[in-house]
Amino acid sequence: MQNEADYLRDYRAGDFPAVLVTVDSVLFTLIDEKLCVLMVQRANHPQLGYWGLPGGFIDQRTDASTQDTALRKLVEKCGVKPAWLEQLATFSGRDRDPRGWSLTTAYFALIGWQTCQPHIRDVSDARWIPVEELAHIDPIAFDHREIIAVARERLEQKTLYSMVPVYCLGEEFTLTELQGVIEAILQKPIQRKSLVRRFESSEMFEETGKMAVTGARQAKVYRRKAGVDGLNFSRNLGG
Amino acid sequence: MQNEADYLRDYRAGDFPAVLVTVDSVLFTLIDEKLCVLMVQRANHPQLGYWGLPGGFIDQRTDASTQDTALRKLVEKCGVKPAWLEQLATFSGRDRDPRGWSLTTAYFALIGWQTCQPHIRDVSDARWIPVEELAHIDPIAFDHREIIAVARERLEQKTLYSMVPVYCLGEEFTLTELQGVIEAILQKPIQRKSLVRRFESSEMFEETGKMAVTGARQAKVYRRKAGVDGLNFSRNLGG
DNA sequence: TAAATAGTGTCTTTAAGACATTATTCC
DNA sequence: GGAATAATGTCTTAAAGACACTATTTA
């Protein structure tokens, strides 16, 4: 019987028909009170010219995992790393890509648009699209419309029991801005008092000492404490 | 400039180094008050003889998605479909499989062991292993120990806000049995009253009319209503 | 001082936790 | 009747909802 070393020496990838593997990201931000997603106009076949999610193939030399692929592709388009990145789900099937049986591991990401605006202005093929306008964009590449829908669903759920929406904002923000993102995501008003209670009990934030001028009473400016990542509440907001 | 039809005609998979793609499942059940996971002794290289998760390669002719692959492989080992199946996450990297850069989409599944016991008895390479014994099983194939840990984490979380643990039981069960699974998963006692409140308000279950004899007062026997799937509570159990 | 926005106080509501009590069955 | 298990009643607690109120800034 063959031993493992012999097996590996004789092993040739490609004996089985390969699955086409990609990695795509759904990157959200908030612009003008509107939840937006970063879309890229495809520069190659197939579906050249279609709007789709930023992503692409794994580079086996540089990527230690699909998360690295996602980050690499996002940095290409935005110039900076997203403030939040987590795996969403893997979408697969025979018909989702015309080249054959394929699979994409999708990531879910958040960033403050201010952070990457300079870079996106230069990359003419990338654009922030308000999620409400997606319905009017047709076609959309592959199954990316469905992937975005799943990502939105996940974002909504996480908004109910965590502070993730804060990663749609810049480094510094006011409570009213945070409330704005949350309400844009949930598409309904929330109780500011409930938000304040969570904001404080999370201990994820600290005052910068600065005040934001809004035309009336000035608002305290906060930032995320270094090294804090996430905190889940044991109860949902907006019952 | 080439059009899409030309591009697809000329397209050859294999121009890029392929990623090795597999699908694996973490199937849980409850046996003797203990949470167990289905493990299979590997019959092929690499890592022949190691215990690992049931899974394998996608069959592009028969599988419409990785979920089909997961189901196909589980049915091979258990003879029946799991009562619950959902995608867990995709694990990837250069070193997780000695054959090269690889990726596995892992599924998370639940079943009552009674349902598949006859088949598992025949498949000599499959075994239910109590999760507490996993620490003593070394080696475990690939990164499957880590995948199981992530699945357990997910099961624990879902137990706090849903009725999923019920899918670890057979078709018919008592409240005390359900409480048992939950306590085995959370590794701590819960308030039966809280469980009863959730059980009723979920409207996921119905009485069978039967009673279970336990040696003292008999317990009502319930079953899941047809077509009910899941329900998430807006608040966690076991503060 | 009025309007606008920021932030607080406090009562109500909801659903879980704690645990005592009642019910049923077998011996 | 007593032990064991099943099921219910009810008071307490934690955290969100509702909303009135105070505070600060600019016009």
Q: Where are the alpha helices (DSSP H) in A79-205?
A: 113-122, 144-161, 175-186, 192-202
Q: Give the mutation candidate from A86, A101, A105, A237 for the B interface (greatest B CB count, under 10 A).
A: A101
Residue A15 lies in a domain: no
Q: CA of A23, closest CA in chain B: separation in Å? A: 11
Q: Which residues from chain A sit within 8 angstroms of residue B150, using beta carbons? A: none
Residue in B14, B48, B92 closest to A18 by CB? B14
Instruction: Number of A to B CB contacts under 8 A, please give it.
Output: 105
Residue A173 lies in a domain: no
Name residues whose C-beta falls within 8 Å of residue B151's C-beta, 6 or more positions apart in sequence. Answer: B26, B28, B37, B88, B106, B108
Q: CB distance from A62 to chain B under 8 Å?
A: no
Q: CB distance from B221 to chain A under 8 Å?
A: no
Name residues whose C-beta falls within 8 Å of residue A171's C-beta, 6 or more positions apart in sequence. Answer: A112, A115, A223, A224
Inspect the interface and report whether the beta carbons of B45 and A4 lie closer than 8 Å: yes
3-state secondary structure of A77: helix
- The position carrying tokens 């409930």 is A194
Given a cut of 70, is residue B40 above it in pLDDT? Answer: yes
Preceding amide of B139 cis, omega within 30: yes
Instruction: Find out whether A209 and A188 touch, Cβ atoms under 8 Å.
Output: no
Strand D contact with A188 (CB < 7 A):
no
Which domain CATH number covers A48? 3.90.79.10
Task: Tell me the pLDDT band of B227, cut-offs 50, 70 and 90.
Answer: confident
What is the total count of domains within chain A? Answer: 1
pLDDT tens-place string over residues B127-154: 999 999 999 999 999 999 999 999 999 9
CA A56 to chain centre: 15
Average pLDDT estimate for B186-198: 97
Beta bridge partners of A36: A29, A130
- What is the per-residue pLDDT for A231? 84
Strand D contact with B225 (CB < 7 A):
no
- What is the per-residue pLDDT for A14? 66
Average pLDDT estimate for B182-193: 97
Q: Read off the tokens for A22.
A: 């990609």
Distances (CA, A) of B189 to B85, B183, B184, B186: 26, 5, 9, 8
Residue A66 lies in a domain: yes
- What is the per-residue pLDDT for B112? 97
DSSP B217-239: SPEEEEEEPTT----B-SB-S--
Residue B123 lies in a domain: yes
Q: Which residues from chain B sit within 8 angstroms of residue A89, using beta carbons? A: 87
Domain that holds residue B74: 20-158
Distances (CA, A) of B66 to A83, A147, A217: 30, 16, 55
Average pLDDT estimate for B204-209: 96
Strand C contact with B194 (CB < 7 A):
yes
Given a cut of 90, is residue B237 above it in pLDDT? Answer: no
Strand C contact with B90 (CB < 7 A):
no
Given a cut of 90, is residue B204 above it in pLDDT? Answer: yes
Residue B239 lies in a domain: no
- Minimal Cα distance from A22: which residue of B? B19
Residue B1 lies in a domain: no
**Which residues, given as ranges, of chain A have pLDDT below 70?**
1, 7, 14-15, 118, 239
Instruction: Using the structure, give the distance in angstroms from the CA atom of B166 to the C1' atom of C20, rounded to a whole number.
Output: 29
Cα angle value B116/B120/B123 (rounded, 5°): 145
Given a cut of 70, is residue B177 above it in pLDDT? Answer: yes
Nearest to A119 by CA among A81, A169, A63: A81
Name residues whose C-beta falls within 8 Å of residue A233's C-beta, 6 or more positions apart in sequence. Answer: A161, A162, A198
φ/ψ of residue B16, rounded to 5? -105, 150
Percent of chain B with pLDDT over 70: 97
Q: CA of A142, closest CA in chain B: separation in Å? A: 14
- What is the per-residue pLDDT for B81? 95
Q: CB distance from A239 to chain B under 8 Å?
A: yes
- What is the per-residue pLDDT for B7? 64
Please state which of the ranges B1-5, B24-28, B87-91 shows the lowest mean pLDDT. B1-5
Residue B99 lies in a domain: yes
Residue A186 lies in a domain: no
Instruction: Using the structure, give the distance in angstroms from the CA atom of A232 to the C1' atom of D23, rounded to a whole number.
Output: 32
Strand D contact with A58 (CB < 7 A):
no
